[in-house]
């Protein structure tokens, strides 16, 4: 695919779709499960089945969007940085696959929560044990693992933006620093889930994704940087 003025616009559009779907799915899931123990989570899910299903569907849309985003990034960079682009592509593909698999846990929680409600919400039963496995052991644990591959891929893509100067370097540095902060939280949660999400570590990245998407749609790529890259590829 040849880079033209529509390439960054399409990349920016996909970026915004993934950003929006990711935020929406997390908000929906959080609103459903709440912040209580696993018994409370099962009760909340049983009372919000439709919302739980919608959150799963939106997360699966996010997974598909990540694949499209990875392909777009690859198209932009592969001619000059083939190896790095392939590694980053693999990271994002793995991220999308793990995220989709994590929803098996969320989906299985729906019938479990219904059975839990039908049984009269018993305390200290197999429902809590299985619910803990499905929610924390599969859904949340795989979600945090998928974030590791997002971080690795993001670092590589933003590094390539920095190298090529397709966008102002200050934006690339912003992305690199923001992803670095997210990695701290992800590693802490994988070490001990009680750490939870440290919102302040995510704050720099959330506006970055939105800003990058809008920038690519409105401003596109630096035309002189594109020409310089084409010249280097031709002369190689």
pLDDT, residue 201, reads: 87
pLDDT, residue 235, reads: 64
pTM of the model: 0.91
Domains in the chain: boundaries: 6-235
Q: Which of 1-5, 20-24, 78-82, 147-151 has the lowest mean pLDDT?
A: 1-5
Give tens-digit pLDDT for 184-218.
999 998 888 777 777 888 899 999 999 999 999 99
Residue 26 has pLDDT above 70, yes or no: yes
- Mean pLDDT on 161-186: 96
- Mean pLDDT on 122-141: 92
- Mean pLDDT on 144-173: 97
Between 229 and 64, whose confidence is greater? Answer: 64
pLDDT, residue 233, reads: 74
pLDDT, residue 172, reads: 98
For the chain, the three-class secondary structure string (H helix, E strand, C coil) is CCCCCHHHHHHHHHHHHHHHHHHHHHHHHHHHHCCCCHHHHHHHHHHCHHHHHHHHHHHHHHHHHHHHHHHHHHHHHCCCCHHHHHHHHHHHHHHHHHHHHHHHHHHHHHHHHHHHHHCCCCCCCHHHHHHHHHHHHHHHHHHHHHHHHHHHHHHHHHHHHHHHCCCCHHHHHHHHHHHHHHHHHHHHHHHCHHHCCCHHHHCCHHHHHHHHHHHHHHCCCCHHHHHHHHHHHHHC
């Amino acid at each position: 695919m040849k880079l033209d003025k529509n390439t960054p616009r399409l990349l920016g559009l996909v970026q915004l779709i993934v950003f929006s779907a990711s935020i929406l799915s997390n908000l929906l899931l959080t609103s459903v499960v709440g912040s209580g123990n696993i018994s409370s989570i099962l009760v909340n899910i049983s009372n919000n089945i439709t919302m739980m299903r919608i959150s799963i569907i939106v997360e699966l849309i996010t997974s598909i969007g990540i694949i499209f985003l990875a392909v777009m990034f690859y198209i932009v960079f592969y001619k000059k940085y083939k190896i790095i682009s392939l590694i980053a592509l693999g990271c994002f593909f793995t991220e999308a696959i793990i995220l989709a698999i994590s929803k098996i846990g969320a989906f299985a929680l729906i019938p479990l929560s219904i059975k839990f409600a039908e049984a009269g919400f018993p305390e200290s039963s197999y429902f809590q044990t299985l619910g803990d496995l499905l929610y924390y052991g599969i859904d949340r644990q795989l979600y945090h693992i998928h974030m590791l591959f997002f971080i690795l891929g993001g670092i590589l893509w933003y590094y390539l933006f920095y190298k090529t100067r397709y966008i102002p370097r200050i934006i690339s540095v912003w992305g690199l620093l923001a992803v670095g902060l997210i990695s701290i939280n992800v590693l802490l949660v994988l070490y001990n889930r009680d750490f939870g999400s440290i919102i302040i570590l995510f704050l720099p990245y959330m506006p970055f994704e939105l800003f990058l998407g809008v920038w690519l749609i409105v401003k596109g790529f630096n035309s002189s940087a594109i020409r310089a890259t084409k010249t280097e590829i031709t002369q190689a």
